[in-house]
Amino acid sequence: MRRFIVLVAFAPTLAVVAALSPMPSSATTRSVDVVATHSTAAVAKARTFTLDRPADYVAAYWRGNPHARVTVAVSSDGRHFTAAARTALDEVGMQRRNGTTYGALRAAHAAVAVRVTTDRPLGRLTMLGLSDGTATVHRTPSTADSAQAATAEPPVVSRAAWGADPRYMTWAPQFYATKKLIVHHTDTSNDYADRAGAEAQVRSIYYYHSVTQGWGDIGYNFLIDKFGTVYEGRYSRDYAGANPSGDDSLEHGVTGAHTSGWNSGTVGIAMLGTFTDQDVTPAARQALESMLAWEAGRNGIDPQATQTFVNPVSGASITTANIASHRDYAATACPGDTFYATLPVIRSDVARQVSGTTSTPDTSAPTAPTGLVASPGRASVALSWNASTDDTGVAGYQVWRSRSSTTGFAQVGTATGTSYTDASPARKATYYYRVRAYDAAGNLSTYAGPVAARTT
């Protein structure tokens, strides 16, 4: 089993402050050495990896086998292990498509050993351990503006403040007018205790995206912790102490790496943690809505509209809510079922902030379309269905497709009527389709389907 350690000197990072209060005129900062350890070996069924130093976060990644069921248990003494937990896949790493499967980061709490099991042999698995090293505390002035209007940008912790090593920046930023806002969760631990713990998690995500996965930077444009603190993500430019806005001098947003195929012209905001079975905190939601209102207001985005978006680089198009989630663009569980269900209300809250009104928004989802029928042809499938209903009118329908009846669905098109022809399938192959309605406020119905069709 091969091991090595990498020591990285990080820039100053802010220490714990009251997350819901404005930033003071001066702030405590720390210079932090971040240490990454790697252990690589084959895993036939089970193997225990010994780490060369205690790790606060660990992640397993391996060659191929994206459907392997890998579990991880950690130990802080090398003898007693936590209950084994299945390793989810990192949502940004899933987009790498380089033959490596990247598991999600998980909190390790000073682990010195990690026990890994797999349901199929893995010829090469690497266990990554991340931890903070020595810290030097000092005082520096803060230039964040504490006076915020309803649609002004809230205070943002800069990359330098949370410790983004500029040596990891290996790509040239590109900028496009922002048309869509996409919400994520990082699918990491929710149990960080304070701002210092949140910043350590952000640094771990930064290393994992930038170095391990080879993106050359963190994937998200912004991140928000459970205390309502907003962090600058993807590098755009030097703001000379001003509040980071993630754009160039023309207010065009920087391209991130958060939603494969739809990164240019969109802003990805990630909630720090996992929200499959729990919602974000009120403080985090307030910060998210403030960020969304600021982005929507300055870019002329209707927070409650569902509109077609054309990728300014590829020319591909997709119809989604202007404030949507990762799963609305790709086959992923992000941003978690519980949090995803709150998006219609979040859109309404953002719309009120942007407009300054207190009118009652439309949060009623259309009924699901019915009678979905798939008629196969030669490398094509014709779909038809019965219209759904809504008190304010259905704006259109999303068509989703997969090779499985239960997983892997991705949106392949939209329709304003009750029919759609998918002309992209391969011949003599079975596909499954689902259809759902959306209204002008961005509310989404449940799905009709799936129905199967085998092309000729």
The partner residues of 9 in beta bridges, in order of sequence, read 33
Strand 230-232 and strand 222-224: the pairing is antiparallel
Q: If we measure between CA atoms, which residue out of 316, 367, 325 comes closest to residue 346?
A: 325
Determine the pLDDT at residue 241.
Answer: 87
Q: Per-residue pLDDT tens for 88-138?
A: 999 999 988 899 999 999 999 899 999 999 999 999 999 999 987 655 444
Q: Residues of the chain whose pLDDT is less than 70?
A: 1-33, 133-150, 357-361, 391-392
The partner residues of 132 in beta bridges, in order of sequence, read 34
Using an 8 Å Cβ cutoff, are 379 and 429 in contact? Answer: no
Determine the pLDDT at residue 415.
Answer: 86
Contacts of 168 (CB under 8 A, 6+ apart): 206, 207, 210, 211, 216, 217
Domains of the chain: 2-135 (2.60.120), 145-355 (3.40.80.10), 370-454 (2.60.40.10)
Q: What is the C-alpha to C-alpha distance for residues 208 and 214, in angstroms, rounded to an integer?
A: 8
Contacts of 165 (CB under 8 A, 6+ apart): 8, 9, 10, 11, 34
Q: What angle do CA 309, 298, 336 make, to 5 degrees?
A: 55
Q: Per-residue pLDDT tens for 32-82?
A: 567 889 999 999 999 999 999 999 999 999 999 999 999 999 999 999 999
Strand 394-402 and strand 430-439: the pairing is antiparallel
- Confidence (pTM): 0.76
Determine the pLDDT at residue 328.
Answer: 92
Alpha-carbon distances, residue 210 vs 111, 114, 173, 207, 389 (angstroms): 23, 23, 14, 5, 46
